[in-house]
Structure 1
Amino acid sequence: MTVLDYVIIALKLIVSLSILNVWLLQPQKATKWRGGAATTIKEEFKAYGLSETVCYVIGFLKITLALILLASIKFESLSLIGSLGLALLLLGSIVMHFKIKDPLYKSFPAFLFVVMNLGIAYFFL
């Protein structure tokens, strides 16, 4: 394996484990990154004007794609599905932050993970 292979694996681990952390371990935890004045994921989606159903659908998709990205460490053919799928959903997160006029810093984690996912995808195109 090359150094680049290890960098790609590290990026996959950082992105997938971070997404799983947010959605599975800390959905009820207030952070400075949540949209609006929300303290939970459900409140954040409400601040965006989205329903609880949409929250569950997006959560399911993000968790599934994070697991796919994690699995892509072993099964490289899954890399594009996981990385591009997450990049698309995270772009949606950025749009929602702009929609409700959040301070720019609240979009930073999503932006950073979009860049990481596009970097991953680049090496599998």
Structure 2
Amino acid sequence: MTTMDYILIALKVIVGLSILNVWLVQNKKPTRWRGGNATTIIEEFKVYGLPVWFCYVVGTLKVLLALLLMASIWEPMLQQPSAIGLGALLLGSITMHIKIGDPAYKSFPAALFCLMCAFIAFGPQFF
């Protein structure tokens, strides 16, 4: 295995476990990253003006894509589609923070993970 392989594995685990943590463990807990003054993910979607059902759709997609991203450690064909899908959803998160006028720091985790997904999806082609 090359150094790039180890970097990609680390990034996949970091992104995947972080997304799972947000949606499965921390979903009903307040964090400093939530949009507006929301204390749960469902409240956050309401702050963004989105319906509750959409929270479940996004959550299901993020959990599924996080699992597929980690599965891509063993099945490389999953790497690019799962990273691109997660990156797109994370861009949506950043957009929602901007839409409601949140301070920039609230978008930091989504922006960081979006950059990691971009590197996972496209970085190996350039290094």
Shorter-chain TM-score bucket reads: over 0.9
Q: Distance in 1 between matches of 2:27 and 2:88?
A: 21
Match of 1:53? 53
The AA in structure 2 aligned to 1:70 is: M
- How many residue pairs get aligned? The number is 125
How many angstroms apart in 2 are the aligned matches of 1:94 and 1:75? 29
Who is 1:14 aligned against? 14
Post-superposition, which runs of at least 4 consecutive aligned residues in structure 1 deviate over 3 A? Answer: none
The alpha carbon displacement at 1:124 in A equals 5.9
What are the superposed Cα offsets for residues 78-123 of structure 1, whole Å, 9 maximum, x if unpaired?
Answer: 0011100000000000000000000000000000001000000012
Q: Which residue is 1:88 aligned to?
A: 88
Comparing 81-90 and 115-124, the one that deviates more: 115-124
TM-score scaled to structure 1, two decimals?
Answer: 0.98
Identify unmatched segments of 5+ residues in structure 2.
none
C-alpha contact (below 8 Å) 1:23/1:63 kept by paired residues: yes
Contact 1:79 1:124 in 2 (8 A): no
Q: Distance in 1 between matches of 2:4 and 2:12?
A: 12
Give 3-state SS (helix, strand or coil) of 1:36's partner.
coil
Say whether residues 1:41 and 2:38 are aligned partners: no
The structure-2 alpha-carbon separation of the partners of 1:13 and 1:5, relative to structure 1 and needing over 3 Å to count, comes to same
TM-score under structure 2 length normalisation: 0.96
Q: Which runs of 5+ in 1 are unaligned?
A: none
**Structure-2 separation of matches of 1:77 and 1:52:** 33
State the match for 2:74 in structure 1: 74
Q: Structure 2: how far apart are the matches of 1:90 and 1:34?
A: 13
